[in-house]
Amino acid sequence: MDAPSDSLQEFKKKVDKLLLDLGESDANHTRIGEQKVAATAYGSLPQSPTLATAYSTMHLKLQQLSKMLGEQLEAMGIAVGLADGDYQATDQKHAQRLQQIQASSKAYYEAWEKQNGKKDAPESGKGKAGGDEDLGKKGA
């Protein structure tokens, strides 16, 4: 038996179980979508509309998070399966699904960036890592 292959298969089984558990739980994005509170439930207090809007916003974000988590787990499962075999066996269905997940992730991130503003991040390879300083000068 090939140890790396066995490890990948065990990991894939765990990822598949996580994905199955998520799909069957109340954290599934479709089930989260069903769990709504009517705006009238907050009463007639002056803050009620603000609270209802905040709840709706958070509810939508939880749905998006659950969907993204499920997609990332699915992509990880596909990638582990592909890594365990040869890439020649990659079928069109898996390749298309990975592209769909990537496009979904990119669209979500771009929407987040548009809403929250682009964060300043160093260009790849241009940032300072924790071990970049000259350690020989610290104790001197």
Tell me the domain boundaries of the chain: 3-113
The CA distance from 107 to 63, in Å, is 15
Instruction: Give the pLDDT of residue 138.
Output: 44
Give the distance, in angstroms, between the CA of residue 91 and the centroid of all CA atoms in the same chain: 24
Predicted confidence pLDDT, tens digits, the chain (140 residues) = 455 667 777 887 888 888 888 888 887 878 888 888 888 888 888 998 898 899 888 888 888 888 888 898 888 888 887 777 666 666 788 888 899 999 999 999 999 899 888 776 555 555 555 544 444 444 44
What is the model's pLDDT at position 135? 43
Provide the pLDDT for residue 28. Answer: 81
